[in-house]
Structure 1
Amino acid sequence: MTKKNSRRSFIKRATITSAVLGTSPYILTASNDEIIALKRSYDNTVYSANDHINIALIGSGIQGIYDTQSALKVDGVKLVAVCDLYTGRLERAKELWGDHLFVTRDYRELLELKDIDAVLIATPDHWHQTIAVAALKAGKHVYCEKPMVQNFNEGQEIIKAQKLSGKICQIGSQGMSSLGNEKAKELYEDGAIGDIVMLDMYNDRYSAEGAWQYPIPTDADPNTIDFDTFLGKAPKVPFEPTRFFRWRNYKEYGTGVAGDLFVHAFSTLNYVISSNGPSRALATGGLRYWKDGRNVPDVSITLYDYPKTNTHSPFNAAFRINFIAGSGGGGGFKLIGTEGEMEIGQNSVTVNRSKLNMVPGGYSMISFTEEMQKNIQKEYAAQENDRKSQLTTGKTTWQAPKDYKGAHYDHFNNFFTSIRTGGKTIQDPKFGLRAAGAALLANESYYKRQPVNWDPENMKLI
Structure 2
Amino acid sequence: MSNKGSRRTFIKKAALGSTMLGSAPYIMAMPQGELRTLERVYPQLKYSANDQVNLALIGSGIQGIYDTTTALKVPGVQLVAVCDLYTGRLARARELWGDHLFTTRDYREILSRKDIDAVIVATPDHWHTRIAVDALNAGKAVYCEKPMVQRFEEGKTLIDAQKSSGSICQVGSQGMSSLGNEKARQLYKEGAIGDIVLLDMYNDRYSSEGAWQYPIPTDASSETVDFDTFLGNAPKRPFDSTRFFRWRNYRDYGTGVAGDLFVHAFSTLHYILDSKGPERALSSGGLRYWKDGRDVPDVTLTLYDYPKTPTHAAFNASFRVNFIAGSGDGGGFRLIGTEGAMEVSQNSVRLQRSKLGTVPGDYSMIAYTEEEQKRLREKFRASSKDRRADDLSAGETLWKAPYDYPGGHYDHFNNFFKAIRNKEPVLQDPTFGMRAAGAALLANESYNTEKPVRWDPEKMRLV
TM bin, normalised by shorter chain, reads over 0.9
Quote the offset at 1:12 in angstroms.
Answer: 2.4
Equivalent residue, structure 1, for 2:23 = 25
Quote the offset at 1:215 in angstroms.
Answer: 0.2
Distance of 1:100 and 1:50 partners within structure 2: 17
Alignment of 1:180-199 (within 5 A): 180-199=180-199
Equivalent residue, structure 2, for 1:331 = 331
For residues 307-344 of structure 1, what are the alpha-carbon distances to aligned partners after superposition, in whole Å with 9 as ceiling and x for unaligned?
A: 00001000000000000000011000000000110000
Distance of 1:113 and 1:7 partners within structure 2: 56
Aligned residues: 459
1:438 equivalenced with 2:436 (yes/no): no
Equivalent residue, structure 1, for 2:295 = 295
Query: What code does the residue aligned with 1:436 have?
Result: A
Query: What is the TM-score when the length of structure 2 is the normalising length?
Result: 0.96
1:425 equivalenced with 2:423 (yes/no): no
Alignment of 1:246-265 (within 5 A): 246-265=246-265
Distance of 2:146 and 2:7 partners within structure 1: 34
The answer to whether the Cα contact below 8 Å between 1:7 and 1:190 also exists between their aligned partners in 2 is no
Distance 1:385 1:137, change over 3 A: closer
The answer to whether the Cα contact below 8 Å between 2:298 and 2:323 also exists between their aligned partners in 1 is yes
Equivalent residue, structure 1, for 2:458 = 457
The answer to whether the Cα contact below 8 Å between 2:202 and 2:321 also exists between their aligned partners in 1 is yes
Distance of 1:16 and 1:59 partners within structure 2: 52
Query: What code does the residue aligned with 1:203 have?
Result: N
Query: What code does the residue aligned with 1:423 have?
Result: E
Alignment of 1:63-82 (within 5 A): 63-82=63-82
Report the secondary structure of 1:321's partner residue: strand
For residues 121-176 of structure 1, what are the alpha-carbon distances to aligned partners after superposition, in whole Å with 9 as ceiling and x for unaligned?
A: 00000000000000001110000000000000001111111011111100000100
Report the secondary structure of 2:153's partner residue: helix
Quote the offset at 1:383 in angstroms.
Answer: 3.2
Equivalent residue, structure 2, for 1:448 = 449
Equivalent residue, structure 2, for 1:131 = 131
The answer to whether the Cα contact below 8 Å between 1:6 and 1:189 also exists between their aligned partners in 2 is no
For residues 17-46 of structure 1, what are the alpha-carbon distances to aligned partners after superposition, in whole Å with 9 as ceiling and x for unaligned?
A: 9xx99x953222343321111111112220
Quote the offset at 1:423 in angstroms.
Answer: 0.5
Distance of 2:385 and 2:451 partners within structure 1: 48
Equivalent residue, structure 2, for 1:42 = 42
Query: What code does the residue aligned with 1:224 have?
Result: T
1:51 equivalenced with 2:67 (yes/no): no
The answer to whether the Cα contact below 8 Å between 2:355 and 2:390 also exists between their aligned partners in 1 is no
The answer to whether the Cα contact below 8 Å between 2:276 and 2:458 also exists between their aligned partners in 1 is yes
Distance 1:323 1:308, change over 3 A: same
Query: What code does the residue aligned with 2:23 have?
Result: P
Alignment of 1:161-172 (within 5 A): 161-172=161-172
Equivalent residue, structure 1, for 2:311 = 311
Alignment of 1:408-423 (within 5 A): 408-423=409-424
Distance 1:354 1:6, change over 3 A: closer
Percent sequence identity is: 68
The answer to whether the Cα contact below 8 Å between 1:25 and 1:36 also exists between their aligned partners in 2 is no
Report the secondary structure of 2:398's partner residue: strand
For residues 329-368 of structure 1, what are the alpha-carbon distances to aligned partners after superposition, in whole Å with 9 as ceiling and x for unaligned?
A: 1000000000110000000000000111111122222332
Task: Mark the runs of 5 or more structure 1 residues left unpaired by the alignment.
Answer: none
Q: Which stretch has the larger CA shift, 450-459 or 374-383?
A: 374-383
Report the secondary structure of 2:135's partner residue: helix
Distance of 2:240 and 2:452 partners within structure 1: 34
1:98 equivalenced with 2:110 (yes/no): no
Distance of 1:166 and 1:30 partners within structure 2: 48
Report the secondary structure of 2:90's partner residue: helix
The answer to whether the Cα contact below 8 Å between 2:6 and 2:195 also exists between their aligned partners in 1 is no
For residues 57-115 of structure 1, what are the alpha-carbon distances to aligned partners after superposition, in whole Å with 9 as ceiling and x for unaligned?
A: 00000000000000000000010000000000000000000011000000011100000
Distance of 1:348 and 1:5 partners within structure 2: 22
Q: Which stretch has the larger CA shift, 99-108 or 363-372?
A: 363-372
Query: What code does the residue aligned with 2:35 have?
Result: I
Query: What is the TM-score when the length of structure 1 is the normalising length?
Result: 0.97
The answer to whether the Cα contact below 8 Å between 2:2 and 2:309 also exists between their aligned partners in 1 is no
Equivalent residue, structure 2, for 1:400 = 401
The answer to whether the Cα contact below 8 Å between 2:2 and 2:312 also exists between their aligned partners in 1 is no
Distance of 2:156 and 2:95 partners within structure 1: 38
The answer to whether the Cα contact below 8 Å between 2:283 and 2:300 also exists between their aligned partners in 1 is yes
Quote the offset at 1:407 in angstroms.
Answer: 0.5
Q: Which stretch has the larger CA shift, 254-263 or 383-392?
A: 383-392
Quote the offset at 1:16 in angstroms.
Answer: 7.3
Query: What code does the residue aligned with 1:133 have?
Result: V
Report the secondary structure of 2:175's partner residue: helix
Quote the offset at 1:390 in angstroms.
Answer: 4.4
The answer to whether the Cα contact below 8 Å between 1:206 and 1:329 also exists between their aligned partners in 2 is yes
Report the secondary structure of 1:228's partner residue: helix
Distance of 1:408 and 1:386 partners within structure 2: 42
Query: What code does the residue aligned with 2:207 have?
Result: S
Equivalent residue, structure 1, for 2:376 = 376
Quote the offset at 1:265 in angstroms.
Answer: 0.1
Query: What code does the residue aligned with 1:421 have?
Result: N
For residues 271-293 of structure 1, what are the alpha-carbon distances to aligned partners after superposition, in whole Å with 9 as ceiling and x for unaligned?
A: 00000000000000000000000
Report the secondary structure of 2:333's partner residue: strand
Quote the offset at 1:369 in angstroms.
Answer: 2.5
Query: What code does the residue aligned with 1:239 have?
Result: F
Distance 1:3 1:295, change over 3 A: closer
Distance of 2:46 and 2:7 partners within structure 1: 43
For residues 212-241 of structure 1, what are the alpha-carbon distances to aligned partners after superposition, in whole Å with 9 as ceiling and x for unaligned?
A: 000000000000000000000000111110
Equivalent residue, structure 1, for 2:107 = 107
Query: What code does the residue aligned with 2:299 have?
Result: V
